[in-house]
């Protein structure tokens, strides 16, 4: 029994009786007590309640899918008795009275929630820092961010403080932390996992959270498959008429996969270390007999500028709803004056009418149909997760930040472009560690995008790669 064991391995031990749920809770509690102060990953610990529950229900939990497995959730996922702060509200003022749907489902499947993990303010950054709980650090190097907004959860897994994490993603908030911390993470297809019971929303069934999804982060691709089976379902109000039955993975052998590698637009700048890791992966897949297809999708999508702008408009239509009219108008005016076509798209989204939003939904469906045709030629598509690996902490204003990538300044907000490829069309995307590291010793991850509702194919592909090439390795500092 080890705090770095995969969730799947721990569940096997729980079911066999080799270890009890209470013993695992105590294992992770001891790990939390020695590690969390260093990384600031878990912000609302729940060990005493979790231990009491595990002791009282351990035998009954053995027959469930999770069998009493200790897990964590992102701050924004509502859990009864624990605060949902959004990185903005005093914990004592926002203790949830009941579980959100994801929390209900994982508890019913035998998960024991040992705490909630740190995030950015309003889930709005690719770092995890807020005035309520402070900054989360990357267990690979504390000078660097673990990513965001599910960064505390990624740091918790990388430091061995939890067996499994549940987060959310609208602009890479599962995928970027997974990549930055050397983990696996899965952004499900739109509609596969209900989104009710998640900040900034309440408990309303089918809330208006277009683009946003909830999903797992883990130390093994096998764990992602198990977690998705538990959390994928229709909203309860729809369950009487609809059943969810995701297709199985397209192939059971790595050699049978047709793997697309996407040619990136010239305006996209990606760290050379990521491109090098991608090239090495291509060679590994060729050695396994995979069919490699170089994808130039300019004919179908142009140079992806319109794709990205439409995503940004849609995103700001959604998140701008929580901002006052005066702030939206003032912010939009400043962005419009920037001369940056993507910032102008953000400004359009901040001030758009319902007709524009509905048009964007129609556009996203058209893009989805184009992707569907592409996936008749390939099984998965490999891309970088974002432009960069983990970067140093930065507290400056988001829209004034720049990252230096290949000696070139790149606007920080554009980190959402590569995640948007899957998000805007509702596609599944699974992040995996490549086994490569940067000169600074930071892990390098990539993402495997799948066709809509073919989550098991992108996860299954990562499971096969993990079996062939290896997977998660623990940070030297943790």
* Residue 1: pLDDT over 80: no
Distances 112 to 24, 65, 109 between C-alpha atoms, Å:
10, 12, 9
User: Are 87 and 225 in the same domain?
Assistant: yes
User: Which are the contacts of 345, defined by CB distance < 8 A and separation ≥ 6?
Assistant: 308, 309, 310, 312, 313, 316
Asked whether residue 421 is assigned to any structural domain, the reply reads: no
- Please give the Cα distance from 232 to 365 (Å, whole number): 21
60 burial level (CB within 10 Å; 0-12, 13-18, 19+): exposed
* Residue 178: pLDDT over 80: yes
Asked whether residue 430 is assigned to any structural domain, the reply reads: no
Total domain count, the chain: 2
- Of the residues 356, 376, 408, which one is the last residue of a structural domain? 408
Residue 328 has a pLDDT of 85
3-state secondary structure at position 116: strand
3-state secondary structure at position 35: helix
User: Are 21 and 91 in the same domain?
Assistant: yes
* Contact by Cβ (8 Å): 32, 76: no
End-to-end CA distance of the chain: 17
Cut 0.95: pTM above it:
yes
User: Are 249 and 290 in the same domain?
Assistant: no
Asked whether residue 416 is assigned to any structural domain, the reply reads: no
Asked whether residue 169 is assigned to any structural domain, the reply reads: yes
* Residue 477: pLDDT over 90: no
- pLDDT (tens digit, 9 = 90+) per residue, 254-286? 999 999 999 999 999 999 999 999 999 999 999
- Of the residues 356, 383, 408, which one is the last residue of a structural domain? 408
Q: For tokens 């491109």, what's the residue?
A: 275
User: Which are the contacts of 173, defined by CB distance < 8 A and separation ≥ 6?
Assistant: 123, 126, 148, 149, 150, 167
User: Are 114 and 89 in the same domain?
Assistant: yes
User: Are 97 and 229 in the same domain?
Assistant: yes
Confidence category of residue 27, pLDDT binned at 50, 70, 90: very high
Q: Enumerate the H helices of 149-297 as residue ranges.
A: 151-158, 175-180, 221-231, 236-239, 272-287
User: Are 166 and 293 in the same domain?
Assistant: no
Domain that holds residue 137: 7-254+450-469
* Contact by Cβ (8 Å): 83, 92: yes
- Please give the Cα distance from 465 to 443 (Å, whole number): 17
User: Which are the contacts of 397, defined by CB distance < 8 A and separation ≥ 6?
Assistant: none
* Contact by Cβ (8 Å): 117, 46: no
127-142: average pLDDT: 98
User: Are 17 and 47 in the same domain?
Assistant: yes
Asked whether residue 424 is assigned to any structural domain, the reply reads: no
Asked whether residue 474 is assigned to any structural domain, the reply reads: no
Q: Give the CATH number for residue 129.
A: 3.90.1300.10
User: Are 248 and 321 in the same domain?
Assistant: no
* Percent of the chain whose pLDDT exceeds 70: 100
Residue 323 has a pLDDT of 77
Residue 186 has a pLDDT of 99
3-state secondary structure at position 172: coil
- Please give the Cα distance from 465 to 64 (Å, whole number): 28
Asked whether residue 166 is assigned to any structural domain, the reply reads: yes
377 burial level (CB within 10 Å; 0-12, 13-18, 19+): exposed
Burial 272-284, CB ≥16 within 10 A → b, else e = ebbeebbeebbeb
Asked whether residue 13 is assigned to any structural domain, the reply reads: yes
Confidence category of residue 306, pLDDT binned at 50, 70, 90: very high
466-475: average pLDDT: 98
Average per-residue pLDDT in the chain?
96
* Residue 6: pLDDT over 90: yes
Q: Answer with the residue of higher pLDDT: 42 or 477.
A: 42
The token pair at 461 is: 């592909």
User: Are 243 and 281 in the same domain?
Assistant: no
Element (H, E) at 381: strand 380-384
What angle do helix axes 7-16 and 21-39 make, rounded to 10 degrees? 150
User: Are 171 and 235 in the same domain?
Assistant: yes
- pLDDT (tens digit, 9 = 90+) per residue, 182-213? 999 999 999 999 999 999 888 888 777 789 99
User: Are 271 and 241 in the same domain?
Assistant: no
User: Are 56 and 152 in the same domain?
Assistant: yes
* Residue 439: pLDDT over 90: yes
């Amino acid at each position: 029994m080890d705090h770095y064991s995969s969730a799947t391995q721990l569940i096997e031990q729980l079911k066999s009786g080799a270890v009890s749920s209470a013993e695992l809770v105590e294992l992770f509690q001891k790990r939390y007590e020695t590690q969390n102060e260093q990384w600031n990953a878990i912000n609302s610990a729940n060990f005493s309640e979790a231990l009491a529950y595990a002791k009282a229900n351990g035998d009954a939990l053995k027959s469930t899918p999770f069998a009493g497995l200790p897990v964590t959730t992102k701050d924004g996922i509502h859990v009864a008795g624990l605060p949902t702060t959004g990185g903005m509200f005093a914990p004592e003022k926002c203790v949830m009275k009941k579980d959100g749907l994801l929390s209900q489902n994982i508890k019913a499947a035998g998960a024991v929630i040992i705490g909630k993990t740190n995030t950015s303010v309003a889930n709005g950054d690719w770092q995890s820092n807020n005035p309520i709980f402070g900054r989360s650090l990357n267990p690979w190097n504390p000078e660097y961010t673990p990513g965001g907004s599910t960064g505390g959860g990624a740091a918790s897994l990388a430091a061995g403080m939890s067996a499994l994490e549940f987060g959310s993603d609208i602009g890479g908030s599962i995928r970027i932390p997974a990549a930055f911390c050397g983990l696996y993470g899965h952004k499900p297809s739109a509609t596969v996992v209900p989104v009710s019971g998640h900040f900034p929303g309440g408990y309303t069934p089918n809330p208006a959270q277009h683009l946003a999804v909830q999903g797992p982060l883990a130390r093994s691709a096998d764990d992602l498959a198990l977690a998705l089976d538990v959390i994928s379902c229709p909203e309860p109000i729809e369950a009487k008429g609809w059943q969810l039955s995701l297709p199985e993975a397209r192939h059971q052998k790595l050699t049978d996969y047709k793997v697309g590698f996407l040619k990136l637009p010239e305006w996209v700048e990606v760290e050379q270390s990521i491109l090098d890791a991608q090239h090495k992966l291509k060679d590994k897949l060729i050695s396994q007999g995979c069919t490699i297809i170089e994808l130039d999708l300019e004919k179908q999508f142009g140079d992806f500028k319109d794709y990205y702008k439409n995503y940004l408009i849609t995103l700001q239509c959604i998140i701008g709803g929580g901002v006052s009219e005066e702030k939206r108008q003032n912010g939009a005016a400043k962005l419009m004056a920037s001369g940056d076509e993507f910032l102008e798209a953000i400004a359009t989204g901040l001030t758009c009418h319902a007709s524009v939003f509905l048009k964007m939904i129609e556009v996203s469906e058209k893009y989805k149909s184009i992707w569907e045709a592409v996936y008749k030629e390939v099984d998965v598509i490999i891309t970088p997760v974002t432009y960069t690996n983990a970067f140093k902490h930065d507290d400056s204003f988001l829209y004034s930040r720049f990252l230096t990538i290949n000696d070139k300044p790149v606007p920080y907000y554009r980190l959402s472009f590569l995640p948007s490829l899957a998000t805007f069309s509702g596609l599944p995307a699974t992040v995996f560690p490549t086994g490569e590291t940067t000169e600074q010793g930071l892990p390098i991850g990539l993402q495997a995008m799948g066709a809509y509702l073919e989550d098991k194919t992108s996860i299954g592909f990562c499971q096969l790669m993990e079996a062939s090439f290896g997977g998660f390795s623990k940070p030297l500092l943790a």
